Homo-oligomer: A and B are copies of this chain.
Amino acid sequence: MSNIFEDLARQLVSAGHALYAHGMVPATSGNLSARVSPEVIAITVSGAHKGHLTSADIMPIDNVGNSLDGRRPSAETGLHTQIYSAFPEAGAILHHHSPRATLISQLAGDEVLLSDYELLKAFPGINTHETVVSVPVFPNDQDIHRLSEKIRGRMQSPGPLFGYLIRGHGLYTWADTVDRAMIHVEAFEFLFRCELMKREVR
């Protein structure tokens, strides 16, 4: 494997451990990837426990999701390749199942609207709290192709998209680097937590 692959694999392992430590990828949930080159993506193998992740659990696929080393990639690989195809600037994708992302996806309608938070400035191009960030919520579907078709329409509509929720399932977010994708995870988790707390208090 190339040095770039190995370096990105180490970053994904580190991200997996951090997500697990924060309770965001319970059991064997979640999957993580990074773009190695225009033709190659590094992604977690199917069924790996993110808290025990090692570089050996990161495998190469091509940009339409075919395994390049004979192993089976994450069952949701099609959602990763769709994001890399739609967003040329995306270099890393993190998908987690935090309790808060799961719950807000179940409570919300078609989208979660976030506004009046200073932390919205964590997303690229957002310079003020006086904005509205929309996080679309799609119904869960075990047929990944069918699920990706539902997502495609939103990806083609105008307006920035920093991540999306799948109902009862979790969040997909991406950025140019693994580190910045983790910053998006932190920002979304914070924002979902605040939104849920608002519904808990009188």
Contacts and interface: CB of A to CB of B under 8 A. Distances in A.
A97 interface: yes
A49 B179 CA distance: 10
A132 interface: no
Contact of A119 (B97, B100, B199): B97
Contacts of A118: 29, 97, 102, 140, 166, 168-170
Contact of A29 (B97, B106, B122): B122
A95 to B, nearest CB: 10
- Count of identical protomers in the assembly: 4
A194 B186 CA distance: 19
A27 B106 contact: no
B194 A102 contact: yes
Contacts of A130: 142
A26 B189 contact: yes
A122 to B, nearest CB: 4
Contacts of A71: none
B26 A117 contact: no
B102 A117 contact: yes
Given A99-B193, A116-B140, A118-B169, 12 more contacts: A26-B122, A27-B119, A27-B183, A29-B122, A49-B179, A100-B197, A102-B117, A102-B119, A102-B194, A118-B168, A199-B201, A200-B201
